[in-house]
Amino acid sequence: MNYSVTVLPGDGVGPEVIAEATKVLKAVEGQFGHSFDLSYGSVGGNAIDSHGTALPDETAELCENTGAILFGAVGGPKWDDPSAAVRPEDGILAIRKMLGLFANLRPVRVYPELINSSPIKPHLLEGVDMVVVRELTGGLYFATPKRRWQTSRGRRGVDTLRYTEAEIARIVRAGFELAMGRRKLLTSVDKANVLESSRLWREIADEVSADYPDVELEHVLVDNAAMQLIRNPAHFDVIVAENTFGDILTDEASVLSGSMGMLPSASLAGLPGSSGRRRRRAVSLYEPIHGTAPDIAGQGVANPIGAILSMALMLRYSFGLEDEARAVEDAVSGVLAEGYRTPDIAGDSGDIVSTTELGGVIAGRI
């Protein structure tokens, strides 16, 4: 089969890790007899430099007319001026909104070989296997008013946390659907003791739960969830959370796996096969959860595993290539078991290899 993929490497370590993901994709192509047609576009800081905007029209067009998007990372100190009119992050936020990618799946697993790379005590990490479902196109990130202005009594800034019933219902439903195929525990995270939007979130989660009698629904306040993620991470199965809460909790959760560089994500317009996927031909986006890591960019030491595992999620969710996705995931487990490590996951053991070497050995195992 022929598949088209739009590749947006972005800034910082983005191009380095995406080069390894496409290297492994080429290995899948060779081994399984598919053809992946890659189109590259600019996004983020480099697009601001070349086009004056974080999402040039031609990149937006590439995103709309493709089978799936493989995304690196955007941002960096060069574009960090708080008074700048355009920011690199606008690029990814605009794509999420444009394509209606409301469901961001962030699987968190702990590879036994990396237990010592995490600062968390080993016995707490046994059996950790969860998916965080982060709402991605609403909440504090997108609702308006959102602005800064000057008043006679000084400067003010406002962001708005607003959700509609429909927005909450579809993301909570995505959480239930995922939980159905797993351990059947859904943890809904909110701040219902303080926030009205959270009280609505909780009410709707309870209503939707009537359609999923086999799934246990629990409500956990976000501050407590942050603590439980460290105290008892193996408890969690599927977590569903507001955009900002999900952003924060997944950086925290990545510490369980040993490094930010390990975690992949899939941003979907609905779960495959579910009624949420109403667009005629939904395009999904796959990106590691890490940022551009400007401190290590260009040194060949970035961990490409989050990007490679994101590509595996693309094979699974966008193209239905389950065996191929498994082959990539098994190759990652295999090289970790053999002891290959980038510095972030080296701990006190393992062979330290470069970004391209790690990508190469993973590609070699497909």
Residues with a catalytic annotation lie at 141, 191, 223, 247, 251
| Cα–Cα distance, 131 to 316 (Å, whole number) | 15
Rule CB under 6 A: say whether 29 interacts with ligand IPM.
no
| Cα–Cα distance, 171 to 158 (Å, whole number) | 25
Give the number of C-alpha atoms closer than 13 A to the C-alpha of residue 355, restricted to the C-beta side: 25
DSSP states of 319-363 = T--HHHHHHHHHHHHHHHHHTEE-GGG-TTSSEE--HHHHHHHHH
- Shortest reach from residue 167's CB to ligand IPM, in Å: 17
Segments of the chain assigned E as strands: 2-10, 35-40, 68-73, 103-109, 129-135, 147-151, 154-158, 185-190, 216-221, 238-241, 266-268, 284-286, 340-341, 351-352
Closer residue to ligand IPM, CB minimum distance, 28 or 101: 101
| Cα–Cα distance, 158 to 363 (Å, whole number) | 47
Selection from Mg ion, ligand IPM, none that 92 binds (CB < 5 to 8 A by kind) is ligand IPM
3-state secondary structure 240-275: EECHHHHHHHHHHHHCCCCCHHHCCCEEECCCCCCC
Rule CB under 5 A: say whether 135 interacts with Mg ion.
no
- Shortest reach from residue 76's CB to ligand IPM, in Å: 11
Rule CB under 5 A: say whether 90 interacts with Mg ion.
no
Q: Say how many residues touch ligand IPM, by CB under 6 A.
A: 7
Q: 9 near 19, Cβ under 8 Å?
A: yes
Rule CB under 6 A: say whether 92 interacts with ligand IPM.
yes
Closer residue to Mg ion, CB minimum distance, 12 or 359: 12
Rule CB under 5 A: say whether 237 interacts with Mg ion.
no
Rule CB under 6 A: say whether 264 interacts with ligand IPM.
no
Of the candidates 20, 247, 287, 324, which one interacts with Mg ion according to CB under 5 A?
247
Site string for ligand IPM, 46-85 (x = CB under 6 A): -----------------------------x----------
| Cα–Cα distance, 21 to 97 (Å, whole number) | 25
Closer residue to Mg ion, CB minimum distance, 289 or 336: 289
Residue 104 CA: distances (Å) to CA of 76, 150, 310: 23, 35, 12
Q: At 211, which amino acid appears?
A: D
Closer residue to Mg ion, CB minimum distance, 36 or 141: 141
Selection from Mg ion, ligand IPM, none that 276 binds (CB < 5 to 8 A by kind) is none
Of the candidates 29, 64, 89, 216, which one interacts with ligand IPM according to CB under 6 A?
89
Closer residue to Mg ion, CB minimum distance, 247 or 329: 247
- Shortest reach from residue 347's CB to ligand IPM, in Å: 25
Rule CB under 6 A: say whether 289 interacts with ligand IPM.
yes
- Shortest reach from residue 245's CB to ligand IPM, in Å: 12
- Shortest reach from residue 245's CB to Mg ion, in Å: 11
Closer residue to ligand IPM, CB minimum distance, 287 or 344: 287
Q: Is 127 left (phi over 0), alpha (psi -120 to 50) or beta?
A: left
Rule CB under 6 A: say whether 241 interacts with ligand IPM.
no
Contacts of 254 (CB under 8 A, 6+ apart): 108, 260, 262, 263, 289, 290
Return the closest-CA partner of residue 344 out of 358, 334, 360: 358
Piece of 112-120, 167-175, 205-213, 243-251 that binds Mg ion (CB under 5 A): 243-251
Which residues lie near ligand IPM (CB under 6 A)?
A: 75, 89, 92-93, 247, 289, 291
